[in-house]
């Protein structure tokens, strides 16, 4: 597999979350790698365009061999913040901007290449011919190794795929947000050999308290002793059971939860247990 079975999402490592020090980031990176979480998911906008540089400094200080990890970044969103002179949030997928964004990410992350570049969100003005030309240049220059998208529908993947291979689609997917199983997104991904990654893989289970989440947690609690697993591990195992090969992107900075997330990849839910969890979410039996 090109990426680790669990990906460490870095959105909350910096100013948009825990504001970890460089020392703390070093410890998290080393902890992840020690537990076989070798893929780190970034976006240029995280922390208002500051987190990549902080992570890059920490990565250098760890001395970890670059070839032993995988770095993902995303570009395209022009965010309104003190580090950009933007008047409105928008998307920019012009050739010059994509190349500039990648070069900025490489500089900030202290690396010569990205293992994967993603277009962060679809834009109504994206031009597949221009994007295809740009990605070809970046690959020939060795600045990116793979290309993908994030939050794209099947038709949008088709559009971008006119001029280049789409290797990955990073989508919102969890027990409480599983529309991609029913709207054709995961079918398309599986049929076209695309790797799906799931952001917010725990969904709303621990963020909200309502009838749905109460049902879910009751069912997870009933299965916890059977699998000797925590509730969040069962939620990750539920995602990884899907035949599309979904890779969860976990956003926690807690060392113990990072290890537990990786351990969840060893859980193989029995078929009926997978459906018990789904039914608990839906509140009714499957059709």
Active-site residues, by number, are 46
| Cross-strand pairs, 119 | 75, 149
C-alpha distance from residue 118 to each of 47, 62, 149, 283 (Å) = 18, 26, 5, 35
* Token pair of 275 as six digits: 């459906």
**Can you tell me the distance from the alpha carbon of 92 to that of 94, in angstroms, rounded to the nearest whole number?**
6
Which is nearest to 192 in space by CA: 224, 157, 226, 222? 157
Is residue 69 within 8 A of residue 37, CB to CB? The reply is: no
Virtual torsion, Cα 144, 70, 15, 84, nearest 10 deg: 0
Supply 195's token pair. Answer: 């790797």
Residue 84, helix vs strand vs coil: strand
């Amino acid at each position: 597999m090109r990426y680790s079975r669990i990906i460490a999402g870095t959105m909350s490592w910096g100013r948009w979350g825990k504001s970890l020090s460089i020392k703390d980031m070093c410890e998290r990176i080393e902890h992840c790698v020690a537990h076989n979480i070798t893929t780190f998911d970034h976006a240029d906008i995280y922390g208002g365009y500051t987190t990549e540089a902080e992570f890059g400094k920490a990565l250098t200080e760890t001395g970890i061999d670059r070839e032993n990890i995988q770095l993902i970044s995303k570009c395209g969103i022009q965010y309104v913040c003190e580090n950009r002179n933007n008047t409105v949030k928008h998307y920019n997928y012009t050739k010059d901007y994509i190349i500039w964004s990648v070069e900025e990410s490489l500089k900030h992350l202290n690396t010569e290449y990205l293992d994967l570049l993603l277009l962060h969100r679809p834009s109504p003005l994206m031009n597949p011919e221009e994007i295809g030309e740009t990605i070809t240049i970046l690959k020939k220059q060795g600045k990116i190794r793979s290309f993908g998208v994030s939050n794209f529908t099947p038709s949008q993947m088709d559009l971008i795929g006119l001029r280049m291979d789409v290797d990955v689609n990073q989508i919102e997917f969890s027990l409480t947000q599983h529309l991609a199983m029913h709207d054709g997104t995961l079918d398309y991904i599986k049929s076209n050999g695309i790797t799906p990654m799931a952001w917010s893989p725990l969904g709303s289970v621990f963020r909200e308290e309502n009838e749905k989440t109460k049902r879910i947690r009751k069912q997870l609690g009933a299965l916890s002793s059977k699998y000797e697993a925590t509730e969040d591990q069962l939620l990750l195992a539920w995602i990884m059971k899907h035949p599309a090969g979904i890779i969860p992107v976990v956003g926690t900075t807690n060392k113990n939860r990072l290890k537990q997330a990786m351990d969840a990849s060893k859980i193989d839910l029995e078929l009926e247990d997978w459906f018990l969890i789904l039914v608990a979410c839906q509140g009714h039996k499957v059709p």
